Each structure stands twice: as C-alpha cells, then as structure tokens.
C-alpha cells in the first residue's frame, strides 16, 4: 500500500471517530450514577406541587435510567418508585434520567424542574380515561422530532393535533455546570375532543422532556383494598374487600375485580368478584401454609391493557398455638397437684367418717 493510501485510510478513520465523538448522547457514558434512593425521594419532595386543576409531570422521584411505566398510573416505575396516580401509562421504552450534576448520568442542563427529566427516542403516553383541551411540555433535542395527539389508545384513532419539534439542544447555553443538552423550548398543543394518547418521536437519538402538563385531564377511577384483620390461623377463611370509585369519586357498579397475591405462600390470582351498588367487591380465601401474603386488587377502567390497581396490603397466616414443652410441664404439674389434692381430701373425709 502506498503512503498516500495509508494516510487516506488514517484520515477516513479519524473522520469516522471524530463524527462519533461529535454525536452527543443524553447519557454521559463516562460516569456512574451515585444518587441514593433517599436523595431521589428528596428531589420528589422538593419539586413544586401542580397548580389546582392542572397536572404537571415533573418526573422527580424516579431513579436514574428508570422506566417510568405506571409511576403516574397508580403503580410503580421499573425501579419501584411511586408517584401520584393521574391515570397515565407510559410505554416501556420511555425512561427517567437524572442530571449528572445531581448524581445521575444525564448529560443535560437547565432542565425546567431539577433534576430529573423524561427521555425517549419514540414512545407513547396513554391516558385511558382521557384528557381534553391541550398539553404543554418543554423539550430538548439534538435532532428534529414530532409530537402527535390521538383520540384512541396507543397512537390510534383520529389525529387531533401534531407539531414538529425542531432540534434545539445547545442553542446559546451552557451546562449547569455540566450537560451538553442545555436548551429547552416550550410546546403548546391544543385540540378539540377527548384525547387518549400522545406519541413522541425523534428522527435520531433520544429527546428530553420535562414539566409535561395536562390542563384538562379526567381524574382516574380508583380502587382500594381493605381487610378487617391483618393475621389469622391457617385453615380459617379470610375476606378481602375492594372499593371502586369512578372519576367523580362515586361508587362504581358492575366492575370485575381481580384479587391476587404478589408474593407469599399463596402467590398468584385468587379469583374475581364484581362490585355491588356500593362499589364493593369481596373475595374470601383460605391459606393452608404459614407466611405473609402481599395482596392487591385490580380492575380495568377502560381496557384490560391498562389495569388500575389498588394499594398493597399484607395478611399473615399463622399456626394455631400448640403448648410448648415447658407449658406441657406446667399442665402435668397442675394435673398432678389436682390429683394429690383430691386424694388427700378423700383420705381426710374417710378418717373423719371413721372418727365420727
């Protein structure tokens, strides 16, 4: 190979590597997350509350590189964090990311609400019970993207509105102190009718989003599970009650509730029951093994794909008490004393009758 060809090859390789080096990533691959669960909960606590009548998702309170999942839908994020239940379900490729300056690995700065944002290449937010009027959010992207709102779940049905999201990630800005993705723009998308899903996508890479705001969202239907005792003997039945309310907070009639044990000796689905006029559904079951069952109840407000689940309660199955060896000793002693006492009384009576 000629020297010129070698130089050309080296130059080509250099161009390839330098182009890779120029591509900013929303995650800083050179650092490790060091934020603790306590610090994450502190971020959640410090975040401002949503104004009355408006729902603002600030994404604080989730882990670094955590899937959001049902954090805002009465469930948990992938790493087990919980937020307020707004009845919003995130597709599994949408995550939460914490700023590297706050102990996460996020390569961003100047986020509207410190220090956690939402990130995804493409993803869907589903709101099965619907939202109206409009949404707004801040975004930060290195490549162009688009947001679309539909009246069906999972980006189906009629397109109610769509807006381009133009690349903006580093327009006239600096880190805080670190973060390449440092410029945020506000998007307002208004529409008529009732929407059920929002689709977000970028042409390349991941986009960042924060302070996702719903101005008119339906309150989610809710389910609460309860019991009258938290422990009982194996072999004796135990009754669970689920109470279901509609978006207005009134009892929901005729909803099928599934009771299940997430972990414990009776892990699995226990059965189903339908709510009565008071919104209550009851299920009775009997444990045969000792241990603690962690129980919850779920139902489908709109679609079985998006189940609303209750709080979790636990019930301990215990063995009926059997006297221990020392207790058996006391019992035998008592029987012996009773026997001796009886014999001595009888003897005395015999002697008295003789003396008489």
Residues in the chain: 356
State how far Cα 217 lies from the chain centre.
19
CA angle, residues 201, 207, 213, in degrees to nearest 5 = 85
**Closer residue to Ca ion, CB minimum distance, 28 or 91:** 28
Whole-number minimum distance, CB 123 to Ca ion, in Å? Answer: 17
Whole-number minimum distance, CB 213 to Ca ion, in Å? Answer: 12
Whole-number minimum distance, CB 143 to Ca ion, in Å? Answer: 20
Which residues are at the interface with Ca ion (CB under 5 A)? 58-59, 99, 101, 109, 113-116, 176, 178-179, 210
**Closer residue to Ca ion, CB minimum distance, 205 or 247:** 205
> What is the SS3 assignment for 140?
strand
Q: Are 210 and 117 in contact (CB under 8 A)?
A: yes
**Closer residue to Ca ion, CB minimum distance, 78 or 176:** 176
**Closer residue to Ca ion, CB minimum distance, 61 or 232:** 61
**Closer residue to Ca ion, CB minimum distance, 50 or 314:** 50
| Whole-angstrom distance, CA of residue 261 vs CA of residue 331 | 40
Whole-number minimum distance, CB 35 to Ca ion, in Å? Answer: 12
Whole-number minimum distance, CB 138 to Ca ion, in Å? Answer: 9
- The b/e string for 99-114 (b: 16+ C-beta within 10 A; e otherwise) is bbbbbbbbbbbbbebb
Q: Are 99 and 115 in contact (CB under 8 A)?
A: yes
Residues 6+ apart with CB under 8 A from 103: 33, 34, 35, 36, 39, 64
Whole-number minimum distance, CB 206 to Ca ion, in Å? Answer: 16
Q: Are 314 and 230 in contact (CB under 8 A)?
A: yes
Whole-number minimum distance, CB 211 to Ca ion, in Å? Answer: 6
Whole-number minimum distance, CB 215 to Ca ion, in Å? Answer: 18
**Closer residue to Ca ion, CB minimum distance, 119 or 275:** 119
**Closer residue to Ca ion, CB minimum distance, 116 or 275:** 116
**Closer residue to Ca ion, CB minimum distance, 206 or 258:** 206
Q: Are 57 and 96 in contact (CB under 8 A)?
A: no
CA angle, residues 126, 150, 122, in degrees to nearest 5 = 60
Is the dihedral angle over the CA atoms 46, 32, 119, 92 positive or is it negative? negative
> What is the SS3 assignment for 331?
helix
């Amino acid at each position: 190979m000629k020297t010129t060809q070698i130089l050309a090859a080296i130059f080509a390789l250099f161009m390839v590597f330098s182009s890779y080096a120029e591509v900013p990533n929303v995650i800083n691959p050179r650092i490790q997350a060091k934020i603790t669960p306590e610090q994450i909960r502190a971020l959640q606590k410090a975040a401002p509350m949503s104004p009355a009548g408006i729902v603002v998702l600030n994404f604080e309170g989730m882990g670094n590189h955590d899937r959001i999942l049902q954090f805002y839908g009465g469930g948990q994020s992938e790493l087990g964090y919980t937020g307020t239940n707004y009845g919003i379900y995130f597709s599994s490729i949408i995550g939460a990311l914490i700023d590297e300056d706050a102990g996460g690995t996020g390569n961003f700065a100047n986020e509207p609400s410190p220090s956690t944002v939402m990130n995804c290449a493409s993803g869907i937010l589903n709101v099965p019970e619907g939202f109206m009027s409009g949404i707004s959010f801040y975004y930060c992207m290195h490549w162009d993207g688009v947001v679309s709102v539909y009246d069906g779940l999972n980006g189906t049905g009629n397109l109610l509105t769509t807006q381009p999201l133009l690349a903006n990630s580093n327009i006239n800005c600096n880190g805080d102190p670190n973060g390449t993705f440092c410029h945020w723009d506000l998007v307002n998308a208004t529409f008529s009718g009732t929407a059920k899903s929002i689709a977000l996508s970028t042409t390349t890479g991941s986009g960042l989003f924060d302070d996702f705001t719903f101005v008119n969202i339906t309150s989610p239907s809710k389910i609460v599970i309860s019991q009258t005792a938290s422990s009982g003997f194996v072999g004796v039945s135990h009754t669970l009650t689920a109470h279901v309310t509609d978006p207005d907070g009134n009892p929901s009639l005729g909803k099928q509730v599934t009771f299940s044990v997430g972990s414990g000796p009776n892990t699995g689905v226990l059965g189903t029951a339908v709510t009565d006029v008071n919104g209550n559904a009851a299920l009775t079951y009997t444990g045969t093994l000792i241990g603690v069952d962690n129980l919850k109840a779920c139902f489908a407000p709109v679609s079985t794909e998006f189940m609303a689940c209750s709080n979790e309660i636990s019930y301990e199955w215990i063995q009926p008490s059997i006297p221990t060896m020392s207790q058996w000793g006391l019992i035998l002693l008592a029987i012996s004393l009773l026997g001796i006492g009886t014999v001595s009384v009888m003897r005395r009576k015999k002697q008295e009758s003789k003396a008489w």
